[in-house]
Chain A
Amino acid sequence: MPETVLVIGGGPAGLEAARSVAAIGGRAILVERRGVLGGTPDESSYAALTPRMGSAQDALDELRAGVADPAIDVRLETLVTGCSGSVGDFSVSLSGPGGESSERVGAIVVATGFQHFDPGRETQMYGYYEYPDVITLPDAEKMLKEHTFVRPSTGEPPRNVAFIQCVGSRDRRIGNEYCSKVCCGVASKEAIEIRRLLPDTKVYIFYIDMRMYGYWENEIYWPAQEQYNVTYIRGIVTEIVGKDGRLLMKGEDTTMGRPLEVLMDVIVLSVGMEPSRGTRDVAGILGVDQNKYGFIATPGEPMDPVSTSVPGIFVAGAAAGPKDLEDTIGMAGSAAIRAVAAVRGQAPAQPAAAR
């Protein structure tokens, strides 16, 4: 019986899952679609991580160093193209730079992640593809990584900046009914960074509910409001129209009970999480159930967040739905242990909820 665990995806979840498999004496094959490890935080140029503002690249470097281990076989530019067998003895087809190959593995960890919601889709347009100064959280992140924040249309620093929360999340009309969990914190973090770079710029966050649970509350939300004077206004913007080269934003200030119209120079759409292309593809290839939003289903929740519908196939990170990095890393360790146990035929009894 093969002792090896296949980890699909080289982002934070996959890196940590592979490292954990090796740390407890197993062997791992880590496959990654791109030519570099690091996943979405790397691909989307994340600058500083929420909530503690540490460098994303430093954090990823640590995770990458974790898979520099003889027990981990890293395959870059490699896709999973087929899978057969069952727990303890899967046969998987891989397609990489060296051509096709087949591997026998005892268990699989899916760590294929999420993609940012595309704000051009359907009704929540906000003129993303019309106005260059309407951008998304990852677009802002790219600028902040270069320690700058300007109006894309002019290259000048903005006077007024607004974030619009829940773009692509919590919306029955577009089918994404869930909360994407991290956008409130990330928007607040970016707002702080903008205020640090541009002390004369006013920064607004328009929200439905601010959801910064646990320590994100006092580590991000309070400082943003109290030290950096970020203005939080409860109310979602209905539309954005161009006016005299700026952006006129219409909405309601719900807690003050009045409609409002404000001129902004940059508007940042806080786009949420959707299952990545890889997550959708891999779910089909492996034959694991997806939930109604396309994320990998985890029928054992709440007590078992890593088992999928197929015994021996586990999931870690945002492939299973919106996750912050803390949850992703914790989940990756749990999935690794469950995978190695499955390989060794010592799978712990399923919690009651999963039976």
Chain B
Amino acid sequence: MALQARYEDVPLETKQHLFDQVKADARFDSYLYGCYECGICVAACPSARFYDFSPRKIAQAAGRQDLPMFYEQLNDDIWNCSQCFSCTRCPRGNNPGGLITIMREVAINNGLSSAKHALEGYGRVVYKIMSTGTQVSPDMLQPNAFPDWGPHVQEISDNLELWRRALPPDTLHTTSTAWEVDDRTLTELYLIWHMTGVLDMIKSVDMGLHMILNDVMEELLDEAGYTAD
């Protein structure tokens, strides 16, 4: 359709195959009706203010089944969404953020290199949340602990207390005040990660992380009478 498109070297069949997976998702029909192109989703979108990102275009490309544009978005746009779902104020009842959730899952399940790249920086966060069942707190933000958090991590961690006073968050959780997760809850969480396919998803983007998580979970699951795979 468009005169210029990125990824022209990728065969249309590949794009169609990935689009079909998104469309086949059980949530798709309730996330996309039709689009007026009114722009209320973009107006509400925090990411759209900082990136070249438009939830409207996500909904439009999916509605039009515009495969070249869909494939561009699958690689270049969907990781700019913060998944806040402000876009659900759509008058047609669309959920562009929900479409992005599905697209992210398809990108990961198919091992797209753009997905791997986008998630590289989050390996330790994912490890922390999935292994302990509790949150990442700001005082963990140290260059040694999270060197993959970008070029400003040193500067931010040096003056963290100042930053936090300047931009007070609702809670001021730290490693010492975060809640403790008991073993039974953790066992259930591990089971959920396994049974819903989250671990398989991680496997397709980060083999190393998948191995470490499996090792951590194995013991507790064994004790509870489950086998880790």
Contacts and interface: CB of A to CB of B under 8 A. Distances in A.
A262 B37 contact: no
A233 B57 CA distance: 12
Chain B interface size, as a band, is 10 to 19
Contact of B3 (A221, A231, A259): A259
Given A256-B2, A260-B2, A261-B3, A231 B64 contact: yes
B65 interface: yes
A226 B93 CA distance: 12
B1 A260 contact: yes
Contacts of A255: 37, 56, 60
Contacts of B33: 222, 225-226
Interface residues of A, number: 16
B3 A222 contact: no
A234 B3 contact: no
A237 B69 CA distance: 21
Contact of B4 (A229, A234, A258): A258
Contacts of B4: 258
Contacts of A225: 33-35, 63
A194 to B, nearest CB: 17
A253 interface: yes
Nearest to A257: B57
Contacts of A258: 2-4
Given A255-B56, A262-B1, A226 B37 contact: no
A262 B69 CA distance: 15
A253 B4 CA distance: 12
Interface in B1-20: 1-4
Contacts of A256: 2, 57, 60, 69
B3 A229 contact: no
Interface in B51-76: 56-57, 60, 63-65, 69
Nearest to A210: B36
A201 to B, nearest CB: 13
Nearest to B37: A255
Contacts of A259: 2-3
Nearest to A250: B3
Interface of B: 1-4, 33-35, 37, 56-57, 60, 63-65, 69, 92
14 contacts: A221-B34, A222-B33, A222-B34, A222-B92, A225-B34, A225-B35, A226-B34, A231-B63, A255-B56, A255-B60, A258-B2, A260-B1, A260-B3, A262-B1
Give the 7 A-B residue pairs with the shortest CB-CB distance, closest first.
A225-B34, A255-B37, A226-B34, A231-B64, A226-B33, A258-B2, A259-B3
